[in-house]
Amino acid sequence: MRVTVEVAGEDTHEVDAPEDATYADLLEPVDLSPHEVSMLVDGDPVPTDQPVEAEHVRVVRLIKGG
């Protein structure tokens, strides 16, 4: 499955995801970690360990404050 991975405020990437891919697997080609982002499908957050079911995913980087 080909998935569009939109990193908010940055780039959009086309990722070829294997049939058993999870949302976390989509982050490897864009050099991001599941620990530093939230992933959204249709505006709703999705767990990174969930199998990919959408063709468009929006990735939002989390900000750590002190």
Segment 15-53, tens digit of pLDDT = 999 999 999 999 999 999 999 999 999 999 999 999 999
**DSSP 8-state secondary structure symbol assigned to residue 22:** B
What global pTM score does this model have?
0.89
Q: Exposed e or buried b for every residue in 17-44, given b needs 16+ CB within 10 A?
A: beeebbbbbbbeebebebeebebbbeee
CATH code of the domain occupying 2-61: 3.10.20.30
Q: Which residue has the tokens 């991975």?
A: 5
